[in-house]
Amino acid sequence: MAGLSPVVSSCNKRTWNDIPGQLNMPNARLGHQLRESISLPNPSKTIRTQVLIIGGGISGLSARRWLQKAGINDVWLLELESEVGGNAKSGSMQGLQHPLGAHYLPVPQPDQPELLEFLQEAGCIIGHDINGLPEYNPYFLCHDPMERLFLDGRWMEGLVPSFGLSELDQKEFQRFFEQMATLKKALGQDGKALFKFPLRVGSRGPEWLDLEQQSFASWLELHHYRSPLLFEYLRYCCKDDYGADLSQVSAFAGLHYHAARQGKGANASSDDVLVWPEGNAFLVKALMGNASQIVTGHLAYQLQLNKKGVTVQTLSANESYQIEAQSVILAVPASVAHRLLQPIRPQTPALNLQRAPWVITNLLIDNLPEKGRMSLCWDNVLHGSESVGYVIANHQLTDRYKPRRLLSHYWPLVHENLADVRQSLMNLTREAWLEKVENELKPVYPDLRAHTLEANVWIWGHGMVRPSTGLLSSQVFMEATKPVAGRIFFAHTDYSGISVFEEAFDQGIRAAQEVLQRG
């Protein structure tokens, strides 16, 4: 044994610096040039088009797809990054793909025909049963075992704790889920469903307004919930979808997470999700179709209205374009859109949005040593941890033996002062962050570092919009997507209030429909 110990200790001494990998973030440099208004070159090329879409995230791509389906092929799309996809970015390590952001889609409700049609195009739906329910591609439905929770030193199946609950915990979990079952069917005074995807088709009655204007934390208090385990579970859910704490989101949003998921399929239920090793980058590929008339690495820095439409100036690392478009869809964050439109409509107030930063850590692990009887799942959550846990990116691959696992760890930064957080993220080192992740995972993987082959960190400084209390019912928000001069349209989850694929997909369709209506 004495002969072994030097080997073991030298393994432990290996620092994160010795493990290859990178720290990256979206193309911040080009983005910040917009603010600094440096001198810009003269346009080297002029493009004339019917529709220009600025922003190649899900909203922009969805708008492009919708226009193309409507027969409008004269559509250009401008993307700042070197690739389209926005938050649904992916990467790979030693041949294994992994997500860098959005990475799953819950099975949708059967009453979302546009989304279902797209999923069929994407090969996610492979047929229908006699009741017309979609049959999902079994390779994409998350394989069992799906989720587990680490609580009091043990793993248990599912994210809702099933062991170690007090009588109070049990009662309140039961009461909460019963209440959610009622809310799933709840209608507003206007006869529309209270909780629905997309949000904009849901009820806007007084019941909605009431929930919208109180925080989820106060709603829970109002309904006398006290169970610490229930609170921790709900906190996890808020972090997962909104990058926020219970007090930072409206009761409407907090409940929407639980009451709106009513998916159904011939071979799937509301608990099922669609997942891919590369995350939602899979859906990006399907949304994009052909890559023609997509310009990447270009920043739109100036919009001017003219008689025929809009003139847009772009800038890349080495050239500049002038684009003459009849219509423009701004599929960019609301703050970027606001800045671009400042010269055109200086009076319009900015949307005051909170956008949660996320840090995604991808670890390639050799022979991940697992403790306990509960198998490694797709989604693995540590009760009470700051992060929302980790998914196994290669979970869906059908190989019987997976000596290498790709662990994608998601950490939303749930702070009040987001500017400070972003500043600290700018100065973050990869090693410091990996150490933080390592510490968090210590209870389940005490020698994580010794097994890690590669470690990459990705920072989203402005990850996702928080549906803050009162945001959705505010005047500014409700009017934010009103077209400008009948020429400029808006599509982004910032205008939905919830940053999920379903909303982005719908934003694109709505904006495209507005363009089409205008003719």
Partner 1 sequence: MVEPQPKKRKDAFSFFLLVAVFVIATCGLVYELVAGALASYLLGDSVLQFSTVIGVYLCAMGVGSYLSKGIDGDLVRWFVRLELLVGLVGGISGPLLYASFHYLNSFAVLLYSLVGLTGILVGIEIPLLMRILSDRFSFKELVSRVFAVDYLGALLASLLFPLLLVPYLGLIRTSLFFGLINTGVAWWILYRIDETRPFRSEAVKLAVPISLLLLTGMVAAEKMTAWVEGSLYPDPIILAKSSPYQRVLLTGNKKEIRLFLNGNLQFCSTDEYRYHEALVHAGMAGLRKVENILVLGGGDGMAVREILRWPQVKRIQLVDLDSVMVEIFRDHSFFRTLNNQSLKNPKVTITHADAFNWVRHDSTMYDFIVIDFPDPSNYSLGKLYTETFYREVQKRLTPQGALVVQATSPYIARRSFWCINTTLKAAGLMTLPYHCYVPSFGEWGFILASPAYNLQFNLKLPPNLRFFNETVFRQMLVFPLDMSTLDVEVNKLNNQALVHYFEKDWGPYNQQ
**Site residues (CB under 8 A) for partner 1?**
138-139, 141-146, 267-268, 272, 375, 398-403
Which residue in 57, 54, 58, 59 sits closest to 76, CA to CA? Answer: 54
In the complex, minimum distance from the CB of residue 142 to partner 1, in angstroms, rounded to a whole number: 6
Cβ distance to partner 1 smaller for residue 44 or 367:
367
In the complex, minimum distance from the CB of residue 406 to partner 1, in angstroms, rounded to a whole number: 16
CA torsion through residues 83, 88, 93, 97, sign: negative
Cβ distance to partner 1 smaller for residue 105 or 287:
105
In the complex, minimum distance from the CB of residue 143 to partner 1, in angstroms, rounded to a whole number: 4
How many whole angstroms separate alpha carbon 406 and alpha carbon 341?
42
Cβ distance to partner 1 smaller for residue 84 or 149:
149
How many whole angstroms separate alpha carbon 136 and alpha carbon 119?
9
Q: Would you say 232 and 384 are in contact if contact means Cβ atoms under 8 Å apart?
A: yes
Cβ distance to partner 1 smaller for residue 378 or 495:
378
Cβ distance to partner 1 smaller for residue 375 or 429:
375
Cβ distance to partner 1 smaller for residue 137 or 302:
137
Q: Would you say 501 and 202 are in contact if contact means Cβ atoms under 8 Å apart?
A: no
Which residue in 217, 94, 79, 227 sits closest to 165, CA to CA? Answer: 227
Cβ distance to partner 1 smaller for residue 67 or 141:
141
How many whole angstroms separate alpha carbon 81 and alpha carbon 299?
9
In the complex, minimum distance from the CB of residue 451 to partner 1, in angstroms, rounded to a whole number: 16
Map tokens 């220009």 to a residue. 52
Burial label, 248 (beta-carbon count in 10 A; 0-12, 13-18, 19+):
buried
Side-chain half-sphere CA neighbours of 460 within 13 A: 24
- The three-state secondary structure class of 167 is helix
Cβ distance to partner 1 smaller for residue 117 or 144:
144
In the complex, minimum distance from the CB of residue 19 to partner 1, in angstroms, rounded to a whole number: 23
In the complex, minimum distance from the CB of residue 376 to partner 1, in angstroms, rounded to a whole number: 9
Cβ distance to partner 1 smaller for residue 141 or 328:
141
In the complex, minimum distance from the CB of residue 374 to partner 1, in angstroms, rounded to a whole number: 11
Which residue in 159, 105, 137 sits closest to 275, CA to CA? Answer: 105
How many whole angstroms separate alpha carbon 502 and alpha carbon 113?
12
Cβ distance to partner 1 smaller for residue 251 or 392:
392
How many whole angstroms separate alpha carbon 56 and alpha carbon 77?
7
Residues 6 or more apart in contact with residue 312 via CB below 8 angstroms: 52, 54, 78, 300, 302, 303, 304, 322, 323, 325, 328
Cβ distance to partner 1 smaller for residue 268 or 413:
268
In the complex, minimum distance from the CB of residue 396 to partner 1, in angstroms, rounded to a whole number: 9
Cβ distance to partner 1 smaller for residue 378 or 390:
378
In the complex, minimum distance from the CB of residue 82 to partner 1, in angstroms, rounded to a whole number: 31
How many whole angstroms separate alpha carbon 211 and alpha carbon 228?
22
In the complex, minimum distance from the CB of residue 17 to partner 1, in angstroms, rounded to a whole number: 30
How many whole angstroms separate alpha carbon 118 and alpha carbon 507?
14
In the complex, minimum distance from the CB of residue 141 to partner 1, in angstroms, rounded to a whole number: 4
In the complex, minimum distance from the CB of residue 119 to partner 1, in angstroms, rounded to a whole number: 16
Beta bridge partners of 250: 215
How many whole angstroms separate alpha carbon 330 and alpha carbon 54?
5
Burial label, 287 (beta-carbon count in 10 A; 0-12, 13-18, 19+):
buried
Beta bridge partners of 52: 76, 328
